[in-house]
Amino acid sequence: MEARNVTKRFGGVAALDHCSVEVAPGRVTGLIGPNGSGKTTFFNVLTGYLAADGGDVFVDGAKVARPTPQRLYRLGVVRTFQYARLFPDLTLVEILALAVAKPFLSVFGLRVEGGDRERAMEVLGRLGLRALAARRAGQLSYGQQRLLEFGTTLMAQPRLVLLDEPTAGVNPVMIDILEGHIRRLRTEGVAFLLVEHQLDLVMRLCDTVVVLGRGVPIARGTPDEVSQDPMVLDAYLGG
């Protein structure tokens, strides 16, 4: 997947300015940068939530015409949100079942099909949430909700997962679980784009790191290269 020359303006101010990033299967690409540098906006464009003012998104070398969240979802591009966003009145199993990509006519089938329930239970088991399967999402702790968010991406058989600060507000045990899953999926060929403030996690996990500064990539390379780049140090220290 590739984003080429993506530009997005909010009332004259360019949140993204000719921003290009490419991700490869089985690789974890880190996207870092100070607050307000456009990371979330970039995610929103890549997942069809925001229409770009310029530039294109490509999946498998083919341009995605008129990207919408649903269309990208069907192409295997799934995301989590920076702030846990879930459906407080639905149960964990229902939320995970909702995330399964199915043909349209399945909407006239059961609320939760047996097969989807099994898969949901399996994912909940892996995340250590199995005992809470019948609870409503609103009853979970914040950390558990974020883990459930991540769980939805596991249901979708994704090819590219975009994670927006997945560890914010999550305790260390859960971060370990999360990291384990990212490593496992990576060996299965899933690509990741990871926005993360915890730099040690980024350095441990990422194959490539892209640094955004005011909507433009100012550096890219391996974690080691990037962490020694004077521009990056400057951008971070200078805010």
Partner 1 sequence: MRQVTGWGAGRAVVVFGTLLALPFIFSQDWVVDIAFFGLMYAVLAVAWNLIGGYAGYIWLGFITFFGLGAYALTISFQHVVLTSVWSPFLVIIPIGLGLAALSIPVALLLLRVRGATFAVVSLAVLFLAEICASNWTTITNGAEGMGMPTPPIAASLFSRPFYLAMLCLLAVVLLFSWYVLRSRLGLMLFAIRADEERARGLGVPTTTIKVVAFAASCGFAAMAGGIWAYYVGFIFPIFAFSANTMFATVMMVYLGGRGTLWGPLVGALLVAPAQEYLAYTLGNSQLYLIAYAAVFLLVIRFLPRGIVPTVHDSWVRRRARGAVGGSERLVST
Ligand X SMILES: Nc1ncnc2c1ncn2[C@@H]1O[C@H](COP(=O)(O)OP(=O)(O)O)[C@@H](O)[C@H]1O
Q: Which residues bind ligand X (CB under 6 A)?
A: 10, 15, 33, 35-41
Q: Which of 162, 196, 203 is nearest to 23 (CA)?
A: 162
Nearer to ligand X, 81 or 99 (CB): 81
Q: Which of 188, 236, 193, 190 is nearest to 213 (CA)?
A: 236
How many Å is the Cα radius of gyration of the chain?
18
Contact status, residue 76 vs residue 156, Cβ threshold 8 Å: yes
Amino acid at 163: L
Nearer to partner 1, 17 or 116 (CB): 116
Q: Does 40 bind Mg ion (CB under 5 A)?
A: yes
Nearer to partner 1, 46 or 206 (CB): 46
Least separation in angstroms between CB 227 and ligand X: 19
Nearer to ligand X, 33 or 158 (CB): 33
**Binds 79, which of ligand X, Mg ion, partner 1, none (CB < 5 to 8 A, cut-off by type)?**
partner 1
Q: Does 37 bind Mg ion (CB under 5 A)?
A: no
- The residue at minimum Cβ distance from Mg ion is 40
Handedness of CA 117, 154, 158, 7 (dihedral sign): positive
- All residues at 6 or more sequence positions from 135 whose CB lies less than 8 Å from its CB, including other chains: 91, 92
Which residues here bind partner 1, judged by CB under 8 A? Answer: 47, 49, 68-70, 73-74, 78-79, 81, 85-91, 93-94, 97-99, 101-102, 104, 106-113, 134, 152, 156
Least separation in angstroms between CB 173 and partner 1: 26
Contact status, residue 101 vs residue 157, Cβ threshold 8 Å: yes
Q: What is d(CA 46, CA 43) in angstroms, rounded to the nearest whole number?
A: 5
Binding residues for Mg ion, rule: CB under 5 A, are 40, 82
